[in-house]
Structure 1
Amino acid sequence: MVRVAEHLVARGHRPLVIAPEPASGMPRVTGPLGYPVVRVPSLPMPGYPTFRLGLPSRRLSEALVAHGTDVVHLAGPFFLGARGSTVAQHLGLPTVAVYQTDVPSYATAYRMRELGGAAAWRWLRRIHNAADRTLAPSTASATALLAHGVERVWLWRRGVDTDRFDPKHRSAALRRALVPGGEVLVGYVGRLAVEKRVELLAGVSKLPGVRLVIIGGGPVEASLRQALPDAVFLGVRQGAQLARLYASLDIFVHSGPFETFGQTLQEAASSGLPVVAPAAGGPVDLVNHGQTGLLVPPNSDQALADAVARLAASPRLRQSMGVAGRRLVEGRSWTAIGDELIEHYSAVLGTAQPAATPAAA
């Protein structure tokens, strides 16, 4: 959403972001952003206290009216976005709903029975079918939406900053610190949460000649440190520091089977890395099996370990896949993706017809 807001400002538009209040003690965005941010009351998600759920608030309607809003962008609507949809309908504003979280699977992972399965899909169907368009980030998520009765589904993928995530940021000093023995450096980047199934990387962490680094934070970090005693946990990293870490890896590995897209896979490919990921959801679109990386059966620790071992044994294969992966993402700039989104806005406003193709076509 930050990249989208930045792009809208650059194109002369006036975005307004409405978001939940962060948890107490969590860092807040400070300094000039170029666009206003309105905060609404929030509650912690059960089992994930730093993940906040926005609550219905009069601030929503007041903010939209005061801003002179033309179109409402619902980012991952389920809680706050559901209210946003209702308010937009009351105000007669067109809406674009972005599907970016596999809520039914997440609800199952967190044992939230009242939000799982058919109930979650009924709620999602109601929200998305009230929107003028639903934008899905991958063919797998678009297929799931259509199969569950969601209408007017279009593909809208994600961009990647190929200047920030670039092989040129590889750091010999960083590698000496992480792998003084010259091991193959394998990395996971992402939230440390139940649905990410990071514990499946235990086999990877035990491979001879391999060092596994975990970059990120979340509610299951303590249990993962016990499950992966041979791994190096680096915590949350951002910006240039994160870019150096990506570029200094030899292999990128992802374990989560519930990704609607998989942004870290694009960042890894942009950094010149071969990618190992489950053959499910967004990764199916992002990894060309055998060319830019390896896709493996979901939820299989052995398959992940076998794929990483294959790449660890072949520097030439890692090099060729890394080059191919970088080439694959070079056309996926945030500028191109942002302009595509503006075309969707124009379409629901009735001022233009985008060149993009409906997912149902």
Structure 2
Amino acid sequence: MRVVIVTESFPPDVNGVAHCALQTARHLVDRGHHPLVVAPATAAGSGPDAQSPCPVIRIPSLPLPGYPQVRVALPSRRVAAAITEHRADIVHLASPFILGVRGMAAAARLGIPAVAVYQTDLAGYARTYVGAGEATAWRRIRSVHAAADRTLAPSSAALGDLEAHGVPRVRLWPRGVDTERFRPEYRDEALRRELAPNGELIVGYVGRLAPEKQIELLAGVCGLQGVRVVVVGDGPSQPHLTEALPGAVFLGRRTGDELARIFASLDIFVHTGPFETFCQTVQEAMASGVPVVAPAAGGPLDLVAHGRTGFLFPPRDENAVTDAVRTLAADPALRAEYGTAARAMVEGRTWAAVGDQLIAHYGDVLAARKVVVAA
């Protein structure tokens, strides 16, 4: 198949949309298909895309006001031209919002089927950043995804939300995890001594530092005796969080094998944001053999087995976060049991397995189009 992946973000960006788009392109190449990526230009321009396994077309973009790490593509005819020149059999729209909408429109004009991958809780973001606008966000989501031949939701919670808001033709497509990179064996005692020189228990958060992530819920954990909070990531909330989380260690953005060592060196992983459609970092922590504490909302509901691989807490409940960490901190045997179960739970969720599921979705969509044409 010749596939054009139109994505709102792509490496060197570090986020769930970019990572999933990259893994999708890699798997398509591995299976003998021919992907092309269309993505916003980076801050450094449209230089070489060393990480990409396939060609990348970069569309001129501007930084999002107040959040320069996120770039928004400008109107461009290059999207339609790229789809045409690639002779696409199918268009894959990764978290369509701005660039993806143009990709959807171009696919419709050209008569090419499109699969839209839902990844971003725009309604939750509207509630966080604007304090209103959820209904408007859902109208936008519905109008974009209704035009697709199939929408793929990353979790059962996301699938339910989409169907409840009138989005048609929704199917489940979860995310994979690199079980070779993220492994318990990469636990690094030298790194642990560096992060917690007094032998403290290490509780980690990995992800963007942004208001919707509600990382300040770790404030109570920072107050627990014998606990060191380690925060990995960057974003606009960092100045606020350095004050809100006294004693926490901020490592900034880390990637690759270095990130894998950090994950494996944690004693407990905590994710705090309630708006995750999936939550890839939870899977990476589980693959690293680390018990997880996460909100009982969105993607973590599918990932964390409460009382078996970690604990789910009521969203936005700081005391519940603190209590869950306190329980795990007091019981090394329980941490070990949950960490082992977490690793076992994700071992079959490789990107290869998930990528084959995606290719099957493509096949279903193409077959359905052929039936319509024949009729």
Q: Using structure 2 for the length normalisation, give the TM-score.
A: 0.91
Distance 1:23 1:195 in 2: 24
Distance 1:32 1:230 in 2: 36
Name the counterpart of 2:373.
none
Does the residue aligned with 1:131 lie in a helix, a strand or coil? coil
User: What is the deviation of 1:178?
Assistant: 1.0
Distance 1:14 1:250 in 2: 42
Distance 2:67 2:44 in 1: 14
Matching of residues 1-361 of structure 1 within 5 Å: 1-24=21-44, 30-31=49-50, 33-111=52-130, 113=132, 116-350=133-367
Name the counterpart of 1:359.
none
Distance 1:169 1:192 in 2: 25
Distance 2:41 2:325 in 1: 40
Distance 1:62 1:93 in 2: 13
Distance 1:214 1:56 in 2: 37
Q: Which runs of no fewer than 5 residues in structure 2 stay unpaired?
A: 1-20, 371-375
Gap change, CA 1:112 and 1:303, over 3 Å in 2 = closer
Distance 2:292 2:67 in 1: 28
User: What is the deviation of 1:176?
Assistant: 1.0
1:20 maps to amino acid: P
Does the residue aligned with 2:23 lie in a helix, a strand or coil? helix
CA deviations 1:104-145 (Å, max 9, x no partner) are 1112211175xx211111111111111000000000000000
Distance 1:147 1:252 in 2: 31
Distance 2:345 2:266 in 1: 19
Does the residue aligned with 1:168 lie in a helix, a strand or coil? helix
Distance 1:217 1:104 in 2: 23
User: What is the deviation of 1:22?
Assistant: 1.8
Alpha-carbon RMSD across the aligned residues, in angstroms, is 1.6
Distance 2:185 2:119 in 1: 31
- Contact in 2 for aligned 1:22/1:50 (Cα 8 Å): no
Moved over 6 A (4+): none
- Contact in 2 for aligned 1:346/1:352 (Cα 8 Å): no
1:231 maps to amino acid: A
Q: Which runs of no fewer than 5 residues in structure 1 stay unpaired?
A: 354-361
Does the residue aligned with 1:199 lie in a helix, a strand or coil? helix
Q: Using structure 1 for the length normalisation, give the TM-score.
A: 0.94
Distance 1:227 1:309 in 2: 19
User: What is the deviation of 1:45?
Assistant: 2.2
- Contact in 2 for aligned 1:85/1:95 (Cα 8 Å): yes
Distance 2:342 2:47 in 1: 34
CA deviations 1:11-51 (Å, max 9, x no partner) are 111111111112359x9664373311111122222321211
- Contact in 2 for aligned 1:47/1:110 (Cα 8 Å): no
Number of residue pairs aligned between Structure 1 and Structure 2: 350
User: What is the deviation of 1:205?
Assistant: 1.1
More displaced stretch, 343-352 vs 85-94: 343-352
CA deviations 1:184-215 (Å, max 9, x no partner) are 11000000011101111111111111000000
